Amino acid sequence: MLEKIFGPCRDYSVFVLRIFIGIVFLTYGWLKLSDLKWFAGFLEQAGVPLPGIMAPMVAAIEFFGGLAILLGTGTRLAALLLTGVMAVAMVTVTLPKGFAGGYDLNLALLGGLLALLLAGPGKPAVGGDL
């Protein structure tokens, strides 16, 4: 019964994933871009090397990667770059905190990014995909 109801919408499942993943990264990227000094200090406290370089780089990848995913343009490239950011964030910051309140969100976002990396942008999308 559910297949009959939702089956025709299958092509839009990746679109729904893109919207939510894109909004999360776009928002977190904007928050970091709007206060790079704070974010660099946070990275320094976490022991990330070269925080003055890493802060704007990570913030830009999150913001523009989130925008690309949201629009469906360059989805695979954005997902690949963001997967790297999430993996480093997990290892350096959230893994020592444990699952709940630690790396739970990173793990969920990684799952969504890997799905987008494998599936591409789906429908609808702006332009082609890399």
Answer yes or no: is 75 within a domain.
yes
* Residue 8 included in any domain: no
Lowest mean pLDDT among 34-43, 92-101, 107-116: 92-101
Helix (H) or strand (E) holding 110: helix 104-119
CB 69 within 8 A of CB 19: no
Distance CA 86, CA 25 (A): 11
Give the separation between CA 116 and CA 130, rounded to whole angstroms.
12
Residue pair 70/122 in contact by the 8 Å Cβ criterion = no
Domain containing residue 35: 13-119
Say how many domains are in the chain. 1
Residue 27: which pLDDT band, with cuts at 50, 70 and 90? very high
**pTM, rounded to two decimals:** 0.92
What's the full length of the chain, in residues?
130
Q: How confident is the model at residue 128, as a pLDDT?
A: 65
Tens digit of pLDDT for each residue in 32-55?
A: 999 999 999 999 998 889 999 999
- 125 found inside a domain: no
